[in-house]
Amino acid sequence: MSDITNAMKQICEEKNLSYEAVVETIESALAAAYRKDFGEKNQNIKVEFDPETGKSKVYDVKTVVEDMPEEIVVDETAMDEEPKSQKSKIKTDKENAEVKTEEVIQEIPEEEVRKFNPKTELQIKDAKEIKKTAKIGDVIKTKLEIPADYGRMAAQTAKQVIIQKLREAEREMIFSEFKNKEHEVVAGVVQRREGRIVLVDLDKAVGVLPAEEQIMNERYRPGDRIKVYVKQVSITPRGPEILLSRTSDEILKKVFYLEIPEVSNGLVEIKAVAREAGSRSKVAVSATSENVDPIGSCVGQRGSRIQTIISELGGEKIDIIEYDEDLAKFIGHALAPAKILSVEINQDEKKAVVKVAEDQLSLAIGREGQNVRLAARLTGCKLDIVGEKAEKIKAEEIKVEDAVQSEAAVEIAAEAETEKPVAKEKPEEKAEKKVKKTKKSKK
C-alpha cells in the first residue's frame, strides 16, 4: 500500500468520507492544475488517477453531436475580438439597430433549442476524422501528453481544489445524513449559547435551537444532554443548517415512541396530542388489543414511564386520556379532571356545548383557560363550558335534606315507642313497701 493510499484512507476516517469521493477530489485537482499550466482553450480536461501507483492519465473528453450550420457555430474568440468601432456604428445608426434587434429576437428561439458548445461537444464530421465508427452520443477521449511536473501556481491551485472539494463532500455527506433524520428525535449535547440561540452538538454536525423553539423557563447549560426534534434541514452557502425544536408536538409523540414499548410495538396508538410546551400536554391513546390497558401502559408501574417522559421534557405535566370514537365521551375524557353533566354537539360547525356543575366550572376551564384550550385542540371541536344554575342544584339539595330528615324523624319515633323508659319510684313508696313486707313475715 502506497503512502498516497494511506493518506487518503486517513482522510476518509477523519472526515467520514467515502474512498471514491476522495479519489474524485484528487482527479479534479489534477485537472485544474493541468488546465492552469498546459491547458488550451475549448479543452474539457479529465484526469484518471491511480492511487496505488501514483500515476495519472489526462484526456480531452467530448461528446459527439450532429453537424451544426456554420451560422450557429460561433467562435467565442471572434466574439471577444469584435472591433469597438463596429459597436459604436450600430449604436449611432438607428435603422441598422432596429433591424439587428429584430433579427436577434427571431434567432433567440433557435439558440434556446440548440446551441453548440465547442468545449464539451464535437461535431460528427470532426469526430469521424478521429474515429471512423463514431456516432451521435458517443464520448471520445483524446489522450494528452502528461507533464513531467507541475509549476508552483498549478500545485497551489490543486491544493485549493482539494480543500474545497473535501469540504463540499463533507457538507454533502452531513446534509444527506441529517436529511434522512428530518422529523425525527435525536440526542445531542448543549455546546454553547450565542445570544438567545442555543447550539447543540449532534456528533457529526451542530444544530441550531432558536429562541422560539425553546421551552419557556428551561435552562440549557453547556454539557447537558437533551433530546431534540429535527424540524428542518436545509443547505446554505456556509453548509447544511439543521433547525431543531423542543416545543413541537411531534417531539412528544417521538419520546412516547422511544420510552414506551407498547407504543413502538403498535399495541397502543397515539390518536392526538395537544401541547403547550413547558406547561402542560394532553395525549389521547387507544389500545389495538382488548387485553391492553392504554393508560396503564403509558403511566407504567408507580408512574415510572411517565416520570421519565416528564423529566425528558423539563418537568412538563402530561395528561393521558383514553380515546373514544363517541365524540361526546371523548370530550368528557379530554376535560378531565372536571366532571361533566352533558354534552351537546353541533357536527356542522364542529362545536360543542358542555354543561358542568357550578363547583366544577373553574376546574373544567383551568388556569387561564388552559384545560379547555388543550381539550379543544385535542378533540378538534370548539368547546363552550356552561355551568348549571345554582338555584336548581340548591333546590335538589333541599329536597334531599328534607327527605333525609323525615326518615330520621320516623326512625326516632319508632325507637321511642319500643323503648319506653321505666319511671323511678319515690322514697316514701319504697318505705311503705318494706313495712308491708315485714308485717307479712311476722304473721
- Find the CATH number of the domain harbouring 190: 2.40.50.140
pLDDT in tens, 376-427: 888 888 888 888 764 444 444 444 455 545 555 545 555 555 554 544 455 5
Cell of 101: 434587434
- Does 188 reside within a domain? yes
pLDDT tops 50 at residue 298: yes
pLDDT tops 60 at residue 341: yes
Site of grid cell 499550466 = 37
* Residues linked to residue 239 through DSSP beta bridges, in sequence order: 236
Site of grid cell 401541547 = 275
User: Are 195 and 149 in the same domain?
Assistant: no
DSSP 309-329: HHHHTTS-EEEEEE--SSHHH
User: Are 123 and 49 in the same domain?
Assistant: yes
For strand 197-201 and strand 206-209, is the pairing parallel, antiparallel, or unpaired?
Answer: antiparallel
Range of the domain at 197: 181-245
User: Are 223 and 130 in the same domain?
Assistant: no
- Does 206 reside within a domain? yes
User: Are 122 and 203 in the same domain?
Assistant: no
* Residues linked to residue 282 through DSSP beta bridges, in sequence order: 274, 319
Q: Which pTM was predicted?
A: 0.57
Torsions phi, psi for 338 (to 5 deg): -70, 145
User: Are 143 and 228 in the same domain?
Assistant: no
User: Are 139 and 60 in the same domain?
Assistant: yes
- Does 282 reside within a domain? no
pLDDT in tens, 154-164: 788 888 888 88
- Residue 216: what pLDDT? 81
pLDDT tops 60 at residue 260: yes
- Does 349 reside within a domain? no
- Residue 108: what pLDDT? 45
3-state secondary structure (DSSP) of residue 227:
strand
Q: Could you give the percent of the chain with pLDDT greater than 70?
A: 77
- Residue 50: what pLDDT? 84
- Does 219 reside within a domain? yes
Comparison of pLDDT for 18 and 407, the residue scoring more: 18
- Domains in the chain, number: 2
Q: How confident is the model at residue 42 (pLDDT cuts 50, 70, 90)?
A: confident
Q: Can you give the CATH number for the domain in which 33 is found? A: 3.30.1480.10
Residue type, 54: G
Cα–Cα distances (Å) from 222 to 204, 225, 226, 241, 389, in that order, read 17, 9, 11, 20, 55
Q: How confident is the model at residue 20 (pLDDT cuts 50, 70, 90)?
A: confident
Distance, CA of 417 to CA of 325 (rounded, Å): 59
Distance, CA of 147 to CA of 150 (rounded, Å): 7
- Does 198 reside within a domain? yes
pLDDT tops 70 at residue 437: no
